[in-house]
Amino acid sequence: MVQICAIASGSNGNCYYVGNEKEAILIDAGISRRQILKRMKMKRLDIRKVKAVFITHEHSDHMRGVRVLADTHQMPVYFTEDTLRNTRHQHRPENIRLFEAGERITIGGYTVFSFSKNHDAADPVSFRIEVNGISVGVFTDIGKPCVNVKHHLENCDVAFLETNYDERMLWEGAYPQYLKVRVASDKGHMSNDQAKELVKELSPGKLKHLFLSHISADNNRVEFALDTFSDLKERINIIATSRYAPSDVLELAGITTNL
Ligand SMILES: [Zn+2]
Ligand SMILES: [Zn+2]
Give the pairing type, strands 50-54 and 24-27.
Answer: parallel
Are 157 and 130 in contact, with CB atoms under 8 Å apart?
no
For residue 248, what are the CA distances in angstroms to 113, 170, 187, 238, 242?
A: 25, 27, 30, 11, 10
Average pLDDT, the chain: 96
What angle (nearest 5°) sits at the alpha carbon of residue 246, between those of residues 242 and 251? 115
The string of pLDDT tens digits covering residues 212-253 is 999 999 999 999 999 999 999 999 999 999 989 999 999 999
Residues 6+ apart with CB under 8 A from 49: 19, 22, 23, 24
Q: Which residues contact 43 (CB under 8 A, 6 or more apart)?
A: 5, 7, 246, 249
The residues pairing with 110 across neighbouring beta strands, listed in sequence order, are: 107
User: Where residue 257 falls among pLDDT bands split at 50, 70, 90?
Assistant: low
Distance in Å, CA 119 to ligand 2 centroid? 7
**Ligand 1 centroid to 42 CA: how many Å?**
24
What distance in angstroms lies between residue 22's CA and the mean position of ligand 2's atoms? Answer: 31
Closest CA to 52 of 137, 9, 109: 109
Note whether 78 and 52 are within 8 A (CB).
Answer: yes
Find the 206 Cα to ligand 1 centroid distance in Å.
26
Neighbours of ion ligand 2 (CB under 5 A): 59, 141
**Helix, strand, coil shares of the chain as percentages rounded to 5?**
30, 30, 45
- 19-76 tens-digit pLDDT: 999 999 999 999 999 999 999 999 999 999 999 999 999 999 999 999 999 999 999 9
What are the residues whose beta carbons fall under 8 Å from the beta carbon of 120, sequence distance 6 or more? 143, 182, 185, 187, 188
Please state the pTM of the whole predicted model: 0.97
Q: Read off the pLDDT of residues 66-106 as tens digits, 9 standing for 90 and up.
A: 999 999 999 999 999 999 999 999 999 999 999 999 999 99
